[in-house]
Amino acid sequence: MSTNKNVSIMCFHDELCQVFNAMMTALNLLRQGARVTVFFGSRGVNAIHRAKMPELRCLPDMPEMGEAVMKRMDELELPLLEDLFFMFIAEGGEVLACPLNIPLFGMSERDLIDGAKIADPARYYKEVVM
């Protein structure tokens, strides 16, 4: 089924629950036939950093609640964030990083997970957002 819709999801945080929800939404939209791009800006670029992704936590400012949420996610056998990204990219989704925030956070394109790219703002806004 194809909807001929372009969808852009913007993720500006590196809190695991927010990133997980963004990627679950993106993957489901992709599987419904939409062309989906997930743009990571601000602290969100940490979510697609290959070394930082495994360290992401739910509700890091509330450690007890965050640990309970992560335990519940394990009990529900939800996919790992790494697996969500792999499925999303393998199934045709696009993962973009903000070209301003990558250097601000001391990163380069080599630090990104496989399949993620640094966005070209002109193309992103013209072809994806608008």
Give residue-wise pLDDT tens across range 11-49: 999 999 999 999 999 999 999 999 999 999 999 999 999
Q: What are residue 11's DSSP bridge partners?
A: 40
Retrieve residue 111's tokens.
């630090």
Distance between CA atoms of residues 124 and 55, nearest Å: 29
> Residues 111-122: pLDDT tens digits?
999 999 999 888
Phi, psi for 76 (deg, rounded to 5): -80, -5
- H helix intervals, the chain: 16-31, 63-75, 81-90, 101-104, 121-123
User: Alpha-carbon distance 24 to 88, whole Å?
Assistant: 9
Q: What is the pLDDT of residue 2?
A: 55
User: What share of the chain has pLDDT > 90, as a percent?
Assistant: 74
**Gyration radius from the chain CA atoms:** 15
| pLDDT number for residue 123 | 83
49: helix, strand or coil: strand
- Fold of the domain spanning 6-13+21-129: Hypothetical Protein Ychn; Chain: A, (3.40.1260)
Rounded to whole angstroms, how far apart are CA atoms 58 and 98? Answer: 23
Locate the domains of the chain by residue range.
6-13+21-129
Distance CA 59, CA 43 (A): 14
As a whole-number percent, the residues of the chain with pLDDT over 70 amount to: 97
pTM for this predicted structure: 0.89
Confidence bin at 129 (pLDDT 50/70/90): confident
pLDDT of residue 8: 93
Helix (H) or strand (E) holding 35: strand 35-40
